[in-house]
């Protein structure tokens, strides 16, 4: 391994920390990280990750730079303040967060003008999947860039799908979340209706799992969260779900598709935030669905 084979990683939060750790353990590359919070960086230092003093310092040293931030607003601010000024030929920037499609395509154009390749590669699945390296990653990039970064992405994900050019990875991730959100809302309505009709909740979900209503959402969000009333913080929150649903509505407006289901979900999610559940694990929407 040469010293030039350096990976940068910015954003070592709940998902980013284990992803960065997997890159350091599996890639064979030198890994340099930065985050505004020192605690995850200290844990990563113990795993051999080098710690930078600023985002610009990471970008200056990296050949491939991964960024894992909460959303498009944070990504755009970081790019404007630190990453676009550090852009250069030979650098590949990979956005692992979920951002709007239009923003991803805009950033891809702006970085290309400075010689930097850009890929949107939003992650899906749980914190446990991030720890185990079994995330699903949908990628928007040229074929050449995808071929270059795919082995690195497979250090973090067991399913890596090339979805087409810039922005397409975000589009597929946003649509995945749109379908999931509406499925969980249907489960919340079924749970409330079944309970009021006298059907025991666990029995209801067990029966659904044996029929055509079976789904990943039922077995995970339904059985592991809604039945147990388990809605921890520092998981994928109502606020995050509202953000991603907003990206779906934004894409609908851009493409001329009226998204009735996503609009309903926007109302449910806003109601959940107003009820004080904004930071809770997002299947907590079942509590507002079941209110009189």
Same domain for 11 and 116? yes
The set of catalytic residues is: 173
Residue 228: count of CB within 10 angstroms of its CB: 10
pLDDT, one tens digit per residue, over 23-51 is: 999 999 999 999 999 999 999 999 999 99
Give domain status of residue 53, yes or no: yes
Report whether 102 contacts 248 (CB < 8 A): no
The reply to whether 109 and 124 lie within a common domain is yes
Among residues 165, 186, 213, the one where a domain terminates is 165
How many domains does the chain divide into? 2
> Which strand (E) or helix (H) includes residue 139?
strand 135-140
- With a CB cutoff of 8 Å and minimum separation 6, the contacts of 100 are 72, 170, 247, 250, 251
In a domain, 121, yes or no: yes
197 and 142 assigned to the same domain = no
197, 130: one domain: no
**Residue with structure tokens 């996503």?**
262
Q: Are residues 114 and 189 in the same domain?
A: no
Last residue of a domain, one of 149, 165, 181: 165
Are residue 137 and residue 259 in the same domain, yes or no?
no
Q: Which residues contact 106 (CB under 8 A, 6 or more apart)?
A: none
> Do 233 and 105 fall into the same domain?
no
Give the C-alpha distances (Å, rounded to integers) separating 34 from 90, 185, 198.
Answer: 20, 37, 53
| CATH code of 111's domain | 3.40.50.720
Indicate the pTM of the whole model: 0.93
Among residues 131, 146, 165, which one ends one of the domains? 165
Instruction: Quote the domain boundaries for residue 130.
Output: 6-165
Which residues pair with residue 38 across a beta bridge?
Answer: none
In a domain, 1, yes or no: no
Q: Looking at the structure, tell me whether residues 23 and 146 fall in a common domain.
A: yes
What is the number of alpha carbons within 13 Å of residue 238 lying toward its C-beta? 25
Q: What is the pLDDT of residue 184?
A: 98
> The CATH number of the domain where 239 resides is what?
1.10.1040.10
- pLDDT number for residue 2: 40
pLDDT of 4 reads 53
Residues 60, 75, single domain; the answer is yes
CA quadruple 106, 27, 124, 39: dihedral, nearest 10: -90
Residues 6+ away with beta carbon under 8 Å from 127: 14, 15, 18, 235
Please indicate, yes or no, whether residues 111 and 181 belong to a single structural domain of this protein. Answer: no
Per-10-residue mean pLDDT of the chain, 292 residues long, equals: 75 97 97 97 97 97 97 97 97 97 98 98 94 98 98 98 98 97 98 98 98 97 97 93 97 98 98 97 96 86
Statement to judge: residues 175 and 160 lie in one domain: no
Residues 136 and 179 in one domain: no
CB atoms within 10 A of CB 3: 7
Burial 101-110 (b: 16+ CB within 10 A, else e): bebbbebbeb
Contacts of 140 (CB under 8 A, 6+ apart): 104, 119, 120, 121, 163, 164, 165, 166, 167, 168, 169, 170, 171
């Amino acid at each position: 391994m040469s010293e030039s084979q350096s990976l940068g990683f910015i954003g070592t939060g709940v998902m980013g920390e284990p992803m960065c750790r997997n890159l350091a353990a599996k890639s064979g590359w030198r890994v340099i990280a930065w985050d505004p919070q020192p605690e995850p960086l200290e844990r990563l230092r113990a795993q051999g990750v080098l710690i930078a003093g600023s985002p610009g310092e990471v970008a200056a040293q990296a050949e491939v730079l991964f960024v894992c931030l909460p959303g498009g607003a944070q990504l755009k601010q970081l790019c404007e303040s630190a990453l676009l000024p550090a852009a250069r030929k030979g650098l590949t920037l990979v956005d692992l967060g979920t951002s709007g499609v239009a923003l991803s395509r805009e950033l891809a154009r702006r970085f290309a003008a400075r010689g930097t390749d850009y890929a949107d590669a939003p992650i899906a699945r749980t914190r446990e999947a991030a720890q185990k390296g079994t995330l699903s990653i949908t990628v928007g990039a040229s074929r050449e860039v995808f071929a270059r970064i795919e082995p690195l992405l497979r250090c973090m994900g067991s399913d890596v799908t090339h979805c087409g050019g810039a922005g397409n990875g975000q589009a597929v991730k946003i649509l995945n979340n749109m379908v999931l959100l509406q499925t969980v809302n249907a489960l919340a309505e079924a749970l409330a209706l079944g309970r009021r009709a006298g059907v025991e909740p666990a029995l209801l979900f067990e029966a659904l799992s044996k029929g055509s209503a079976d789904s990943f959402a039922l077995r995970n969000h339904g059985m592991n969260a809604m039945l147990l009333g388990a809605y921890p913080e520092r998981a994928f929150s109502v606020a995050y779900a509202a953000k991603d649903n907003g990206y779906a509505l934004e894409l609908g407006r851009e493409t001329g598709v009226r998204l009735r289901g996503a609009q309903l979900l926007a109302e449910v999610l806003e109601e959940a935030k107003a009820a004080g559940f904004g930071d809770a694990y997002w299947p907590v929407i079942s509590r507002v669905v079941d209110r009189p």
